[in-house]
Amino acid sequence: MSNNKTHWENIYKNNNFKNVSWFQEKPTTISFIDNLNLSKDCKIIDVGAGASYLGKTLIDKGYKNITINDISALSIEISQSHNIHNLKKVSFLIGDITNLKLPKNYFNLWHDRAVFHFLTEKEKREKYINQIRKSLLIHGYIIISVFSLDGPKKCSSLTIKQYDETTLSSELGECFKLINFSYSNHLTPSNKKQNFITCCFKLIKK
């Protein structure tokens, strides 16, 4: 068991999922997905989904093919309980997204809220970006939401890397075209403000 996995298993073991700082009763990045007007048959992966309600929200909107990933098996159990009546429409993938075996040329949309910013090592970020390039269909979309330059320097007591739209675009590289972005303040369950930047990219070449 890697240290990173142990950290996250302990988070979900020792806390109610609704009390963790990143919890949202209504996932705000859904507005980025709504704006894309994707077909309800499209394939969406939420990486590092934790116990988020995003998958359930998408199913409630009519999407039929959702993949929920997390490094923590416990968080996936919670996520399964959110989606208990729709298990045919949801696949669960436990593992580190930087080295998990993913289907090739499969997803239409890759969604990440508060995961990419934990990748403080360049090598890990390169692996993550390669995973997108392999598993996403050409002209597919990527939504990444991370702490902004005005946001916290740590998340879940771990050091993170902050971004703005320029640094996130240059990190992803020339295969990805920035479509739109916005800044927002997330209010944690203990009423602290955390500034996020959410960017939507399109995969324009492989």
Ligand X SMILES: C[S@@+](CC[C@H](N)C(=O)[O-])C[C@H]1O[C@@H](n2cnc3c(N)ncnc32)[C@H](O)[C@@H]1O
Q: C-alpha distances in angstroms, 148 versus 11, 84, 180, 191, 194?
A: 23, 34, 15, 18, 9
Question: Smallest distance from the beta carbon of 169 to ligand X, in angstroms?
Answer: 21
Considering the complex, what minimum distance in angstroms separates the CB of residue 160 from ligand X? 9
Nearer to ligand X, 119 or 203 (CB): 119
Rounded to a whole number, what is the largest CA-CA distance in the chain?
43
CB 205, min distance to ligand X, A: 25
Q: Are the C-beta atoms of residues 5 and 29 closer than 8 Å to each other?
A: no
| Chain residues that interact with ligand X, rule: CB under 6 A | 4, 8, 22, 47-50, 52, 69-72, 75, 96-98, 113-115, 118, 155-156
CB of 158 vs ligand X, minimal distance in Å? 9
Under 8 Å between Cβ of 22 and 98: no
Q: What angle do CA 172, 178, 182 make, to 5 degrees?
A: 110
- 6 or 39, CB closer to ligand X? 6
- Cβ distance to ligand X smaller for residue 43 or 111: 111
Alpha helices in the chain (DSSP H): 3-14, 30-36, 54-60, 73-82, 122-135, 165-172
Q: Of 152 and 179, which CB lies nearer to ligand X in the complex structure? A: 152
